[in-house]
Every structure is written in C-alpha cells, then in structure tokens.
Amino acid sequence: MHPNRIVLTFTILLICQLIGEVITRLFQWSVPGPVLGMVILFCALLVRGNVPEEMNIVTGGLLQNLSLLFVPAGVGVMLHAQLLARNWAALSLALVLSAAITIAVTGLVMRWAARQTERKRAEAP
C-alpha cells in the first residue's frame, strides 16, 4: 500500500469528522460532531458500494489503539467527578434505559433480518 494513499484515507476520516462538527455547531444540534461524521462516512461508503483497502488498514490501526483514545474521556470523568456524583441517579437510569432500549432494538432488527433471509432462501430456486 502506498503511504500517500494511507495519509489520504486518514485525512478523509478527519474531514468527515470536521464536517460533522461544523454541521452540529452550525445548527446547534446535540449530536456529537464525530457521530455525524461517521454517518456521513457511512453514507459515502454506501454510495461507493465497498470499503477501500486503505480504509480497512487505517481503521484497523485506530481500533488496535482504541484504548489510547479513551484517556481524554477518563480525564474528563475525573475532572467532573463531583458533578457525576451529584447526578448519579439520573445517570444510572439513563445508562440502564439506554442499554435496555439498545438490546430491544437489536433483537427486533435481528428478528427482521432473520425473516428477510429466510424469505429470500424460500424464494430462491
């Protein structure tokens, strides 16, 4: 793999994040910019039809070092420990509810996907 293509791919990831940040700040949305950037990247990859090999290499490298990316979040938790302690009940409720909703939605999507797969198998000659 040519190093310039790797750098270009990493740049594309950062540009998607930047676009997400700009849009969320411009429209004052409560969605984090990097999340919107991932949605933009996902849509671009859907339009493209596949994931380039360079993207696999760059994202694989980022995932291998993911623990380093949690250091700033850990520092933020320590910085705001008193605020978290004051709001522990609301935070706990939000965590439990969001986990339950995620599990339920995942189950429903899996059930739907299984039905679709079963239907396509039944239609196949």
Q: What is the pLDDT of residues 84-114, one digit of tens each?
A: 999 999 999 999 999 999 999 999 999 999 9
pLDDT of residue 125: 74
Residues 36, 20 contacting (CB under 8 angstroms):
yes
Question: pTM value?
Answer: 0.59
13 pLDDT above the threshold of 90 = yes
- Token couple for 43: 């849509």
User: Shortest CA distance to 59 belongs to which of 16, 111, 117?
Assistant: 16
- Over residues 37-77, the pLDDT tens digits come to 999 999 999 999 999 999 999 999 989 998 888 888 888 88
| DSSP result, 46-89 | HHH-S--HHHHHHHHHHHHTHHHHTHHHHHHHHHTHHHHHHTHH
The count of other CB atoms within 10 Å of the CB of residue 50 is 8
